[in-house]
Amino acid sequence: MATDLYQSITDRILSLLEQGIVPWRSPILGHGPAGRPRNFITGRDYRGINVFLLAMTRHMEGYASSRWLTFRQANEIGGSVRKGERSTLVVFWKSYQTTDRVSGEEKTVPVLRYFRLFNADQCEGLPAEEVATPIEAVRSPIESAAAIVGGYRNPPTLEHAGVRAFYRPSDDLVRVPPIERFVGMEEYYATLLHEMAHSTAHSKRLARGIDTNPQSFGSSGYAKEELVAEMGAAFLCAEAGISPSVIENQAAYIGGWMQRLRDDKRLVVTAAAAGQKAADWILGRAHPNETPSEEAVSS
C-alpha cells in the first residue's frame, strides 16, 4: 500500500506537539552549523521539514552524532547498520514531466518522495567523523544574529517603536519594540528574525502574496504564512545559535497548530519548504530548483 507521506510527516509532528514539544520553537535544532543534521558522507545539511524530523529524533533517542546516512551509504564506506535499528523517514521533491489535461502542454510536476536514514550512532564500522577545528575566533550567538540581520540585502525598513512586533507589507516595514522592552538580546533577535521572515513574502522578494493578496486573520492563508515565518525564524535562530522566542501561552499555541495540521496534512511540509526559502533569502543563499512552486504544492 502506498505511503501517504504528507500524513506520515504530519502525524510525526502532531505526536511531538501532543508531548508539548514545538519543533520550530525548540532550542535543540543545533547551535551553529556543527549541530545541524547533515549527511555523513557529503557533509551537506538536510533542509526543510527534514531538519525538524532529524533534530528531534536525535534529541529523543539520545544520539550524540548529528550525521545521518542511508543503509547503502553505510555499507559503501565499510560500515553497517546495527541489527534491529529503526530508520527515520525524510522526504524530498522529485520532478516529473507530464501533459496538462486541459492545455495538452508538457509541464513539470513536483512529487514528494522519501528515503530512510540512520544516525551514525546506529551504525558500526564507520570511519571517525571529522571535526573541523576553528581557525578564527567564533562569533558569539548575538553577534551572529546581528550579522544575519545586517547581511539581509535590500531589506525592509526597520523601526523600533511601540509594544508590538509586526511586518507591514504596504510600507515594507518591520517594527519591533525597543530593545530594552525585551528580556534579553536573544528574545529580541528571535522576534526580529520572525518579522524579517515575513518580509520575504513581499512581491519584490519571494512573492508569497502578502502584499498582493493579503489574507484575513484566522484564515488558512494567514495561518500558513505565520507558520512559514515561524519555521524561517527557527532556521535563522539555529544558524545564529540563539534560542527561539518564548511562547507566552504554550497550551493555546500548541492547540491551535494541532488543529491546523489536522485540517491540512500538507501544511507542515509546504510551510517548512517555504520557511527554508525565506531563511535562504535572508542569508543570501539561493536554492532555486530545490522545492516546487506554491501553485504546484497546493493543487
- What are 68-85's pLDDT values in tens digits? 999 999 999 999 999 999
Q: What value, to the nearest 5°, has the Cα angle with vertex 48 and ends 34 and 252?
A: 105
34 vs 221, which has greater pLDDT? 221
The closest of 237, 258, 251, 153 to 194, measured between CA atoms, is 237
Helices (H), 46-167: 49-61, 71-76, 141-150
Q: Label residue 109 by pLDDT band (50, 70, 90).
A: confident
Pairing of strands 173-176, 166-168: antiparallel
pTM score, two decimals?
0.88
Query: Rg of the chain over CA atoms, in angstroms?
Result: 20
β-pair partners for 119: 68
Please give the order of strands across the beta sheet that includes 173-176.
157-160, 173-176, 166-168
Q: What span, in angstroms and rounded, lies between the C-alpha atoms of 288 and 259? A: 32
pLDDT tens digits, 162-202: 999 999 999 999 999 999 999 999 999 999 999 999 999 99
